[in-house]
Every structure is written in structure tokens, then in C-alpha cells.
Structure 1
Amino acid sequence: MKYVITAALAMTAAAAQAQSQVHIYGVADAGLVAEYGTPAGSSPAIGSGLASGSRLGFKGTEDLGNGLSAVFVLEGGYNIDTGATGQGGLRFGRQAFVGLRGAFGSITVGRQYSPYYRAIRDVADPFEDGLAGQATNVMAGNHRMDNAVLYTTPERAGWSAEVAYGAGEVPELDVGKHRKRVFSGVLSYAPGPLVVMLGHHRREDALAPDHARNTILAARYTLGAVSAHAAFVRSRDLAGARSRDALLGLTWKHGPHRVLLSAVQRDDRSAARRDARQYGAGYLYGLAPRTDLYAAYGHIDNDNGAVFTVGNATDSGSGNAALNLGIRHCF
């Protein structure tokens, strides 16, 4: 009898292990950053996470039956040049969420990327929000949302959507007046080589009854080895300043080679006319499926006192031009 019980327990444990999976993953990225046009002149340094933020993460799924799964992600950033924690010292500052996934789509709760940001990173920007040519040097990124509930629909005939709400968790200052809430969403159409995203992001001020908002229309079309990128953004910040931003870009892939090109124009709609233009170029060489070498250059022309700087995936930069040389390994 004891052999039967032992066999049954072993089978139960094996089945549970097969239904629940946890993966450890990450990125180790380091390189040389040479900045130009900084207040102190040129400034070469070793940086971490130039192409992709260096990170260590844990993600998992558990089969709950009937097509339903529990999912989670815990992802923390680190600076590979010093070993220090990224994102201001947050243990899991990049992502931290848990939720359910099934035929209805998915719903997750925690610190997450905003749907609006996905339109920039995944569709509009050839640099995928990394290296010196990244679009968010000039365009609002709206990267992450705290205290967020995110719902993603299933895809139907190429259509899908994401909607997120971030609770402000600030006491009401006046009856019916909320603060610091965030709303973000995208509508996507991806029937094949064409991907189009329409996104909107709204963030309320923590103290005043005001808000910032951004609306983006992004598209990417892939034909063979070439992908063309385009985006148009209308923005308003908390100070009331408005702008119209436009992006055109190109990605070329052939074997281990990848070339990135982009141009971003910011048209300031205020009387100050603080316009800006950014030009970026990048090259990546794949040594292996998970390891590449990269080089990138970005330059911004600022008008009438505009102060946009050339950064990378983890640093906002301090000059109007920068050169990146480095290596990235994903595991």
C-alpha cells in the first residue's frame, strides 16, 4: 500500500511542477558613453544599460485549469558598472505585478509599463527606447505606472487593446477632487507586416487640479529586411506647455547586422518656440542570439533655450550629443 501512496505523491508532485513554471531572466549591458555639449564639456564614462537597462527578473505562470493561468513578474534594475540598484533603489523598480490570463485576455495589478509606452518602444522607435538615438530624448515616454490595474484584450482579426488605471492614492483635497491618478490605453491593429497603434496617456497633478496628456499615432511597416517607422504625438505637460512631435525611422536587418536610423521633430506650440530636432544612427552586430555589440550616435539641435539632452536606456544624459559603444547579453 505504501508503494502505491508513494507513487501517487510522486505523480502529483510531477504534475504540479509541470503546471507551474518560474523563469529567471535578465540583461547585462555595459558600454562607453561619450557626451558632448555638456556644461562641463565632453565627458567620457562607463555606463550601464545603454541599449537595454541591466536587470534581473523572475516571471512565472501556473495553470489553474479551464484555460486560466496565474502570472507574475518581479524585475529589478541594477547598474553593472557599480553594482548599485537601479530605479532609485527600488528592489523591483522595473516591474512588479501579478494577475490572471485566459480566454478573456489578461488582467494584472502592480507596477507596470504603461500601454502608451508600448506604442513608442514596440512600434514607433527603431531604437526601442535605448541607445543615444532613442525617441524619448525628445518625446514623452510615460514609461511606468504604479498602483496600476492593466487589462489586455485577446486579439481578434488583428485588433487588440490595452487599458490601464493607476490609483493616485492621495487623499481628496476637495470633495470629488482626486489627484495623481493615471489613465493610459492603446488600440492596436496588426494584420501582418503593418502595425498601427493609437494611444493616450493622462496623468493628474498630485497637488493641483490639472493634468498632463499625450496622444500618439504610431505605425511600423516591415517589408523583407526593412522596417519603416512613423509617429505623430500631441502633448501637454503639467505647466500647460503644448507641442506636436513627429518621428520617422528605419530599421534594416541582415544576418547578424542591424542598422537603426531616426529623426524626431518637436514643434513647441508656445510663444517661446522652444523647438528641437534629434537625429540618431545606430549599428548592432549579433555575436550570438543573445549577445550583441552596439554603436550609436545621437544629436539634438535645441532652439530658443530648449534643454533636451541625449540619454540612453537608463540615463537621461547631460549634453546635446552622445556616442555609445558597448555590449549587451540577455539571459
Structure 2
Amino acid sequence: MKYRYIAGACALSLTAACAHAQSLVKVYGVADAGIVLERGGPNGSMDNISSGVASGSRLGFKGKEELGDGLNAFFVIENGFAMDTGKAGQGGLLFGRQALVGLSGAAGSISLGRQYAPYYKALRDIADPFCTGLAGNAQNLFSTLTRVDNSVDYQSPKWHDLQAEVLYGAGEVAGDTAKHRTIGASATYDAGPLTVVLAHHQQGDMAGTAHSRNTMLVGRYRYGDIVFHGAYSRNRDLLGNPSRDALVGVAVRVGPGRWLASLAAHRDDYGRDAQARQAAIGYEYNLSQRTDLYAAYGHIVNRDGAAFHVGNATDDGTGTTGINLGVRHVF
């Protein structure tokens, strides 16, 4: 009889442990679909029912386990998909948005896998009032540096309002570690209403003989219900050609809604000196804490051979004018 009690206690203990482990795993996602009208494209106008207009539609799983002494293990796997067709996003990758595992503690966090570049996070989270979504997406003009495969990322703990992040993406080319290698870094000052980030991204080519470079300074300032945004970047492509980008924007909360607006500019500083300017305005109306309606308008003026398009969170776009109307649900 004693052995039965012991076996029963062990079974209850294991069940509780399993239940505890499951409680640390979170299922989350975004379901976003809208109407996208594109004008000014080389092949004429386009009217689309699109997915991921404000935010990329996704299904994700993330978890955390306490290992003791302040050390934690964590993971994130996130699948992107299209609400309009049901197809997988990011070229059909199973977890194309994110796939990473790591450890965190008093000394910071380190993670390995497919993850966001520090440069992109600075643009999305701090610089762009549209959060790289809708027709005002800053990446319509700024470099589209988003995720890095085969990468290891370290984020330091916050110290006197300062924090640093460093990312290394292995090129995984035999015989030369410089081929297709990615290096990214950012330094953040975040105190009260003011946040300033200096970010850098460097991407090597497949030959290992050249690399592109992007360096950006971004800022955000909160004043009550008004948030001001700004960014300035200097770029150099694989051929050594320089260019620069700039953005100013604002987000204003009014009741259950939020107005967004931005002006962005791009200029090539070589040869033809092509340039482009984008103006955008948008509105998000919260139906609840998890569901909102959105509308946005963006327009680009290209000059001297520039050929930029108005896209959104998941689509590069085809025209110089974009209009968005849709709904987003976060779960």
C-alpha cells in the first residue's frame, strides 16, 4: 500500500510539473486583412484584398523557463501567413518570421537562430510612427534590412538608461568566413520621454570582396498624447555608392484612436543623384484592446530615375500612391 501512495505522489508531482511547464508557453498572433488600392504603377492601377497591411499576419509560440539563480531559457518560433489566400509567408518558410532560442540573466541575453536585425528594430520601434506598416512604411524608402539567418545576438542589461545590442550572422560559406557575413549593432539611450538609438548594419556579398553598410540615428520623444519621431541614415551599397535617408513623423492619440503622419526622403549621392520623397497619413481606431480598424494614404514622388513604390507591412507595392482600409486583430 505504501508503494501505491508513493507512486501516486510521484505521478501527481510529474503532472504538476508538466502543467507548470505548459503554462510558460504562450500562443499568440495577428490576423490582419485589408483593401489596398495602388495607383501610379507602370502596369496600371491595382485593387487588392491583402494580408498583413498594418502588421504581418502571424501565428507564434514563445516560452520561458526559470533555470535558477536568475537564469532563464527562452524561445520564439513565429510563422507568417497570408489571410487572403492562406499561404505561408516569407517564401513558404515554416517559421519565417522568427525562430530563435536563448538564455537570459543578469548579464543580458544571448539568442541564436533567425532573428531581427538591430537596425530594423530601431527603425520599426523608434523611428517610424507607422511601425513599418501601412502605406506610410518607412521601408518604402529606407533600406529593407529585416531578419538575419544563422545569427547569434547579444543584448546587454540596461545600465544608467543605456543598453547595447550586437548581432553576428554567419555566412556559412566554406573557405571564407567573410562571405555573406552579417554584422549588426545598436546603442540605445532610453530615459523618460526620450529614446535615442544609433544602429549599424553591414552585409557582405557572396564573393567576400565587398559589403554594404547602413548607419542610422533615430529618436523618439513622448509629450503627453503626442509622440514625435525622427531618423537619419547614411548608406553605402555593395558597389560603394553612397545614399542617405531622412524621416520626421508624429503620432497623436485622440480618444480611442491614433493619428499617424510622416515625411520621408531618399537621395543618392552619386551619378544621377536620384531622389524620392514620401508623405503619408493614417488613422487607427481601437474597437477593443485587441481589435482595431485602420486607414492610410501614402504618396511617393520620384525624381531623376528613382523608382520607389508605396508598400505596406508585407507588400513592396507597385505604384507611387497607396490607400489602405482594413481590420487587425491581435491575440
TM range (shorter): over 0.9
1:283 is the counterpart of 2:283 = yes
- How far 1:122 sits from its partner (Å)? 0.5
> Partners of 1:236 and 1:280 in 2: how far apart?
26
Within 5 Å, which residues of 2 pair with 1:121-200? Answer: 121-172=124-175, 178-200=178-200
Q: Which residue, out of 49, 67, 78, partners 2:52?
A: 49
On the 8 A contact 1:231/1:247 being kept in 2, the answer is yes
Q: Which residue, out of 5, 10, 13, partners 1:11?
A: 13
1:32 is the counterpart of 2:26 = no
Secondary structure of 2:122's counterpart equals helix
AA matched with 2:41:
T
On the 8 A contact 2:170/2:177 being kept in 1, the answer is no
- Deviation per residue, 1:35-92 (Å, 9 max, x gap): 0101122111100000000011111111111111110111010011000010001000
> Partners of 1:192 and 1:17 in 2: how far apart?
39
Secondary structure of 1:141's counterpart equals coil
On the 8 A contact 1:120/1:141 being kept in 2, the answer is no
On the 8 A contact 2:33/2:84 being kept in 1, the answer is yes
- Equivalent position of 1:264 in the other structure: 264
Within 5 Å, which residues of 2 pair with 1:1-331? Answer: 1=2, 2-15=4-17, 17-18=19-20, 21-172=24-175, 178-331=178-331
> Partners of 1:283 and 1:238 in 2: how far apart?
38
CA RMSD of aligned residues (A): 1.3
List 4+ stretches of structure 1 deviating above 3 A.
Answer: none
- How far 1:168 sits from its partner (Å)? 0.1
> Partners of 1:51 and 1:25 in 2: how far apart?
17
- How far 1:3 sits from its partner (Å)? 2.2
On the 8 A contact 1:179/1:205 being kept in 2, the answer is yes
Question: Any gaps of 5 or more consecutive residues in structure 2?
Answer: none
Question: Any gaps of 5 or more consecutive residues in structure 1?
Answer: none
- How far 1:240 sits from its partner (Å)? 2.4
On the 8 A contact 2:61/2:78 being kept in 1, the answer is yes
Q: Which stretch has the larger CA shift, 107-116 or 241-250? A: 241-250
AA matched with 1:207:
A
- How far 1:242 sits from its partner (Å)? 1.1
Secondary structure of 1:190's counterpart equals strand
Provide the aligned length of Structure 1 versus Structure 2. 328
- Deviation per residue, 1:191-244 (Å, 9 max, x gap): 111000000000001125001010010000001000000111001112322112
AA matched with 1:286:
N
- How far 1:171 sits from its partner (Å)? 1.9
Q: Which stretch has the larger CA shift, 47-56 or 247-256? A: 247-256
On the 8 A contact 1:133/1:298 being kept in 2, the answer is yes
On the 8 A contact 2:61/2:77 being kept in 1, the answer is yes
> Partners of 1:104 and 1:208 in 2: how far apart?
33
- Deviation per residue, 1:119-167 (Å, 9 max, x gap): 1000000000000001000001310000000001111121111100000
Secondary structure of 1:127's counterpart equals coil
On the 8 A contact 1:177/1:209 being kept in 2, the answer is no
On the 8 A contact 2:178/2:208 being kept in 1, the answer is no
On the 8 A contact 2:171/2:177 being kept in 1, the answer is no
- How far 1:12 sits from its partner (Å)? 4.6
> Partners of 1:107 and 1:314 in 2: how far apart?
28
- What TM-score, normalized to structure 2? 0.96
Percent of aligned positions that are identical: 52
- What TM-score, normalized to structure 1? 0.96
> Partners of 2:225 and 2:17 in 1: how far apart?
43
Cα 1:76–1:166, aligned 2, differ >3 Å: closer, same or farther?
A: same
> Partners of 1:256 and 1:160 in 2: how far apart?
33
Secondary structure of 1:271's counterpart equals coil
